[in-house]
Amino acid sequence: MGSLIGNKIAVLGASGHIAKSLVFNFSRNGWRNVHLFARSKEKVAAFLELTGCRRYKIHQFDELERYNYRAVINCVGVGTPAKVKVAGGEIFSLTEAFDNMVLGYLRKRPLAKYINLSSGAVYGSSFPAKVNDASKVCISVNGIKPAEYYGIAKLYAEAKHRAIPELNIVDIRVFSYFSRFIDHEAGYFLTEVVKCLKSGKVFTTNRCDFMRDFISPEDLFTLVSLIIRGRAFNGAIDAYSSSPVSKFRLLDFFERKYSLKYAFDGNCVFNGPTGEKSCYYSGSRKAASIGYKPRFSSMAAVSAETAEIMRMGDE
């Protein structure tokens, strides 16, 4: 069995935000042999119907072992601020359960590739400046905070992966991501802005600026495709756009383009459940070594996906 490998691609957690964008781009780019795994097959089927995607096969998670996949993409996780806050310690068991499922699959099919959607949170819960290849994590072992649970769970998974270098595993660290398929109740800065655009309410924020790096759905798909088609290796890659964007530039864009009304409130605090992130992006360019060159800036990605959200809202 270890010598078998197919041309099929498996996407785990197909009902999630990033997974939906990947599936949409797989379909749009003509990928035929993509299998989708989710707890609710009905939700995934409805998504495929709504978006006009190919009618990919949909499975329960316990069916993974039935097929030989060229690559397994793990998109399962508690990825939004709202869900992270509620999940608490369950983040550890959820992350490990699905990670172990894929690792068990790879041990039987060592030629397959495992692409794991990790997070920039592996660098810690404080981001006063952008991270890079020399960055280190500092954790108070006698005072671990809930804001650190998510990053520790992701870091632990990555450490497990590096400990088995004979398997083909790539962790893609996604820092910021925004697409037309995002849950408007996710609790992100941009989802709150979108809700205000749709309701006409005034968006309230503080005067503290921040920097974010929103990789576009197309660029993330390109990165994933390069890993699937490229040489096998075991390692981690930071995802990035062609340039990050500041909060105030985003506010200026939404004001000019969509007449967003916003106000500043000194008592408004946006410390997320995974920590304060003033400069949440990476200067690492390891992805360039496999041929990745982002086409879109963070601003371009946000602009394009917001336009689709507003268009869908008008239909």
pLDDT tens digits, one per residue of 84-106: 667 678 899 999 999 999 999 99
How many angstroms separate the CA atoms of 230 and 150, rounded?
30
Mean pLDDT, 10 residues at a time, the chain of 315 residues: 70 97 98 96 97 96 96 86 71 95 97 97 91 94 92 96 98 97 92 96 94 98 98 98 98 98 80 72 98 98 97 68
Please state the CATH superfamily assignment of the domain spanning residues 8-183+213-242+277-297 in this structure.
Answer: NAD(P)-binding Rossmann-like Domain (3.40.50.720)
List Cβ neighbours of 313 (8 Å cut-off, separation of 6 or more).
Answer: 198
Q: What are the C-alpha distances in Å from 213 to residues 3, 175, 244, 245, 279?
A: 39, 7, 4, 6, 9
243, 298 contact by CB (below 8 A)? yes
Domain boundaries, the chain: 8-183+213-242+277-297
pTM of the model: 0.93
- Residue 272, pLDDT score: 59
Name every residue whose Cβ is closer than 8 Å to that of residue 195 and which is 6 or more positions away in sequence: 184, 201
Tell me what pLDDT residue 266 has.
Answer: 73
Are 32 and 54 in contact by the 8 Å Cβ rule? The answer is yes
Tell me, what's the pLDDT at 2?
46
Per DSSP, the residues of 113-169 read EEEEEEEGGGG-S--SS-B-TT------TTS--GGGHHHHHHHHHHHHHHT-TTSEE
Q: What is the DSSP string of 210-253?
A: -EE-B--HHHHHHHHHHHHHS----EEEE---SS-EEHHHHHHH
